[in-house]
Amino acid sequence: MKKFLKFLLIVFIWLLISVAIIGGGLLAGLELNVSLIILGSIFVGWIAFLLIRKIVINYRAKKKVEGLISVEESEKSSSNFNFSFAKTPLTNNFVSMTKLLKKSYLKVHGDPMYVLPWYLMIGKNGSGKTELLKNANLLSPTIDKKSLINTDCGLNWCLYNQAIILDTPGEFLATDSAANRNGEWLELLGLLKKHRPKEPVNGVIVTLSMDDLLADNSQKLIELGIEARKSIEQLMQQLHVQVPVYVIVTQTDKLAGVEEWVSSLNRELLTSPIGEINNDDLPVLNFIHEAVSNISERLKQLLLSAIREDSVSASLLLLPTKLEKIERHIATFSESLFQTNPYQKTPFFRGIYFVGDGANTKHELVGKEKGIFSNKIFTEIIPNERDMISSLISSEKVARTKRLGKTFAWNATFAAVIFSLYYIYNSDVSTLDKVINENAGNFEESAELPSNISAMYKYRSMVNSLQSNAWVPWFGLSGTPEFIGKLEGMFAERVQARLVEKTDQVFVKELANIFTRDTDVSEEKIVAYISTLVRRINIIDAYMDGESNDTLATMPAPYSYSDADFFGIQDSSVVDQLNTLYLQSLAWSTDKAMLRQEVLFLDEQLNDILVKSKDLAKWLIPWANKVAKSSEVRLSDYWSVGTGAINEDTIIAGAYTVKGKEVIDDFITQIKATQRYDDFLAKILPGFEEQYKKIYFDNWEHFAETFDNGSQKLNNRSEWLTIVNNLATGRNLFFNAMQLVSDQIAPYKDDPQLPAWGGLLFFYQEMLAYAPEEKTDGNSKMINKMALKLVGKAGPLGKALAKSGKKGLKAKKKMNKGGGPTVDERQMRLEEAGKLLGDYRLALTNFVYSAEVRSVSYDAISGLYMNPDNPAEGESNLSMAYTSLKKLQAIIGKENNENESFWKLYSGGIHFMQDYMMSESSCKLQDTWTNEFLTNLEGVAEYKLPGLAFGAEGLLWPFLENQLAPFVSERFGAGYVASKVGQIPYPISSEFLEFAARAKDGKQAKQAVYPVHLATLPSSTNLDSKYVIKETSIEMQCASGSTALVNKNFANSELFEWTESCSKVNLVINIGRFRLEHAYDGELGFPNFLADFKTGQKRFTPDDFPRESDRLREAGISFMDIKYRIDGQNSLLQALKSKQIAIPREIAGCWPDNQSSLSASIVQ
């Protein structure tokens, strides 16, 4: 607080000086710049004086400190200027050790002099230094270093795996005794600085024996601390480093009770350190107290364990108390060692530890390892803190820099204030000059509205930039200069004159043209005029009522993009600028009388338009269609899969979507907000809203009814499968369509005229909360269930109260009309309905899993057509879906004219599944026909095909009885027809049905024996023939014998009885010297003969007898007419006709890319 007040005093004095200089300069007629330069020069001179004074003070303090340091001049000279070439034993010993280290394996890990940390151990002779290192069980290298230990210098090198410790003789301490060897201590420090300049030493270990503490001689302890402090001070002065200092109390075992206590410890505790690290940088006395207290508490805990197990002696019980008693002596030594004074740098007191010799204990684990509590001090604690060394010069420099920095900061702050004021003043002048230069001539009025908008927008930007500038309140000026207020007023006036009045003129002119000349007013113009006038009236009213600028900005903008063409604006961004300028002019306007006059003018215009355009639907709906064009809904867009086209796409215009309704409602709300046309709107709005609502519902009902027409786009199996695979996901087209329709009719959810199908759609939304679904937020779903259950438990009255007032009650009553369950009855079974929805989804999921297995589809469709009046019969996925559908209809109402749209959407997945399975079963049936019927006919002789295919034992009949039994039925007098489910016939080909009917007719007309009576008639040839026909004969060969008829040109007859055992028929013609034979082979030989002679005669030519054709022509024979009178042949010819029925290649429709490939030889 004192420093802060001092700072305020300095600032006040300099403010007085500043006022005096600047004021005097102004009175003397000097420029402000000159006065500020004079003030700055005086301030710089003052700062220079303070810096020089600070340097002098620091130099004197340094000299005083150097005089206080107990380093003899002779010693300095010997250490700093000893150029003798003779090396001392200490130097030889140190150099030998460095050579040893450099030759060791340490060089693999880096510089051997720096790989391991180095520590100095100091203490008086007999303090236990050497014994401490010897008994600490440190793992040392197996190198020969005997000559380095027993030297005249007395320096003991302790090399072990974690560090290097230099155990110095007690005479190295800076004592007043005759045996003082402090010069060698300084020499050792010089060697360390020479050979390890980067990191001379990593720490100092000071030993203090327990004997010295138990001697109860405080003066001696003080002397020991001072001697160690002098040595450490010499180290810091010589090496210019500050290192951690560790105090180790040796011979702790001499404290009564320690030997007995050690005997009870395990090996782990024997090697663990007893002591504390000063991590919190506590003062010496506080740290010593905390360390001893913690050790004492630890001893007490260990003694409690020992008491439970064995009896303990009195000395052991008093051990913690004895340790606490020697705390005072430890503090005496430590305080003298680490005392703080303003002339010297205080050593870094890092920690204190207690060690001892376990040789006198009876512990069985001690053995040769006599040291107790010491091992981990040297192997873990001290080596791990090697980086705590810091440069003394740099630390002092940092402290000095901080002090200088504070001084400079106090003075620089005032200078910064002065120069900041000057800079801001110049900046203000420059800003004004820049604004004037940049905007000169930019704000001239133009004949074009866009140019005026651009100019005024720049004007607004200029004013805003001036407002954002921090103007200095020079000599009484306010924070916001008066000139900015004048600029704002000019801006408001210019916007009104150049922009608002010009747009009003355009409106007035357009209105006059429309309502005096045009009979057909476009909806865009009407809505543009009305909306613009309404928005401006509402904004001005809100401004006059005191609404904030932020509130005005959230209201509909006064000018819309549809107005742009009327004003000659082509860029929509210019319209945004016009709106911004209009709102800004209101904020900066001060003439409210002008605004009231503007409102009256706008009100007159709006009233004129509304009166002349009462038919809202005529212009409001087309306008809404255009505004909400992007929200237009097309059925084909939702059926995005498929390469085909829908015969008649269903389109919902934008006006009849949620977006379109919002547009219309917002438009009407804006008019209502004016509170000027309530009576007028009360007359025209009800009729418009009713008509709009009816068309709205009709549109979405039609969309729901025709939604499954989208499958017309699917041309092949892969496209169908894409939709099928989505049935079990959140992309289920039919469920998504239900969600779409629900969302779109949501504005009428509580409407009394909500149709039944709409009510079921909203009930479906409630069912979703109870239907198990994989991808559902469990927490949200649980909350929904709880809310719905609470409503259900409240009963009909509770549900009625939960409705939104009278309107909701009316809607509920309307939905309760007609047959089926009431709304309350549905709600009571909501949870059951949700479970059925889950069953439905499960059926769809199972269907998707097996969709590509045709046998599954075949079995499902077979079961469907076997039970056409009960599609829920069976265990297929299709029947499961139908089961859930029928159960749900029983709960919430069966399908009727009022709710048909809902059920078409809800069951759309079932019908889609059924259509897909129908096609798949057709493919399966076609494959069966090919593999089990047509394949068996391949390679069979032509004359054997009819019998094998559709004879009495033909393959056709078991195929009809087995594979086709569900799909084809026999109708009396009409052959075979496709079976139906409802009005849907199975897609069996009409060609196959005709084939089966004809085959059956042939089978029924078959006889065992076909008697045919042949009678001879005269045979003849051409008149110029050299020969006449002497004789003809016909012979039919059968298993029972041959039947022959000879024609010698006189009457003769014979009865031919044809059976299936008959085969070849030979016709022999004897003419002149020629004997001609014509054979009818095969089992159909006789029927083929009758077919040839179906008129009773047949004319043969030489070409019918290739071998004899040339000689017949030479004999002048051109033709030969053979004649018979035949009776009873019709039955046999009819049987022959049935044998010649064409076997169809395809019997059922399949996917276009999956047609079966059949041999052409099958079709006769």
Encode pLDDT of 532-567 as tens digits: 777 777 888 888 878 887 888 888 777 777 666 666
pLDDT number for residue 1066:
94
Two tokens at 190?
């010089």
**Which of 787 and 691 is assigned the larger pLDDT?**
691
Residue 856 has pLDDT above 50, yes or no: yes
Q: Are 140 and 33 members of one domain?
A: no
Angle at alpha carbon of residue 804, lines to 803 and 810, rounded to 5°: 75
| Assigned domain for 978 exists | yes
**Which of 1007 and 516 is assigned the larger pLDDT?**
1007
Q: Are 855 and 890 members of one domain?
A: yes
pLDDT band at residue 883 using 50, 70 and 90 as cut-offs = very high
**Ramachandran angles phi, psi of 787, nearest 5°:** -65, -45
Encode pLDDT of 709-760 as tens digits: 999 889 888 999 999 999 888 889 999 999 999 999 999 998 888 999 999 9
Average pLDDT over residues 790-805: 40
Task: Provide the percentage of residues in the chain whose pLDDT is more than 90.
Answer: 15
Q: Are 776 and 799 members of one domain?
A: yes
**Cα Rg of the chain (Å, integer):** 59
| Assigned domain for 55 exists | yes
Average pLDDT over residues 1150-1155: 61
Residue 151 has pLDDT above 80, yes or no: no
Encode pLDDT of 84-102 as tens digits: 456 788 888 888 888 888 8
| Assigned domain for 1056 exists | yes
Q: Are 717 and 814 members of one domain?
A: yes
Q: Are 768 and 880 members of one domain?
A: yes
The amino acid present at 558, given as its one-letter code, is: P
Encode pLDDT of 1090-1104 as tens digits: 888 888 899 999 999
Q: By C-alpha distance, which of 892, 904, 912, 910 is closest to 738?
A: 904
Residue 784 has pLDDT above 90, yes or no: no
Give the least confident one: 570-574, 803-807, 919-923.
803-807
DSSP 344: B
DSSP 200-215: S-SEEEEEEEHHHHHT
Separation of alpha carbons 700 and 740, rounded Å? 10
Domain count, the chain: 6
Residue 570 has pLDDT above 90, yes or no: no
Encode pLDDT of 273-315 as tens digits: 889 999 888 898 988 989 888 888 887 777 776 666 665 677 7
Encode pLDDT of 228-237 as tens digits: 899 988 888 8
The whole domain housing 620 covers 486-692
- Residue 359, SS3 per DSSP: helix
Give the least confident one: 379-393, 664-678, 685-699, 874-888.
664-678
Q: Are 941 and 991 members of one domain?
A: yes
Residue 794 has pLDDT above 70, yes or no: no
| Assigned domain for 320 exists | no
| Assigned domain for 76 exists | no
pLDDT number for residue 503:
78
Residue 525 has pLDDT above 70, yes or no: no
Task: Provide the percentage of residues in the chain whose pLDDT is more than 70.
Answer: 80
| Assigned domain for 412 exists | yes
Separation of alpha carbons 547 and 557, rounded Å? 15
Q: Are 499 and 425 members of one domain?
A: no
Q: Are 1114 and 1127 members of one domain?
A: yes
| Assigned domain for 298 exists | no
Residue 403 has pLDDT above 80, yes or no: no
Encode pLDDT of 647-657 as tens digits: 889 999 988 99
**Which of 907 and 50 is assigned the larger pLDDT?**
907
pLDDT band at residue 672 using 50, 70 and 90 as cut-offs = confident
Q: By C-alpha distance, which of 822, 840, 698 is closest to 767?
A: 840
Taking all residues of the chain, what is their mean pLDDT, rounded to a whole number? 79
Question: Which of 345, 363, 388 is a domain's end point?
Answer: 388
β-bridge partners, 351: 246, 277
Question: Which of 897, 916, 935 is a domain's end point?
Answer: 916
Q: Are 425 and 556 members of one domain?
A: no
β-bridge partners, 204: 120, 245
Q: Are 47 and 14 members of one domain?
A: yes
pLDDT band at residue 809 using 50, 70 and 90 as cut-offs = very low
β-bridge partners, 1076: 1069
**Which of 1 and 1114 is assigned the larger pLDDT?**
1114
Residue 1162 has pLDDT above 50, yes or no: no
Q: By C-alpha distance, which of 528, 578, 586 is closest to 552?
A: 586
Separation of alpha carbons 642 and 720, rounded Å? 8
| Assigned domain for 3 exists | yes
Average pLDDT over residues 869-883: 88
pLDDT number for residue 1079:
92
Give the least confident one: 603-612, 786-795, 902-911, 988-997.
786-795
Q: Are 799 and 931 members of one domain?
A: no
Separation of alpha carbons 787 and 591, rounded Å? 56
pLDDT number for residue 592:
73
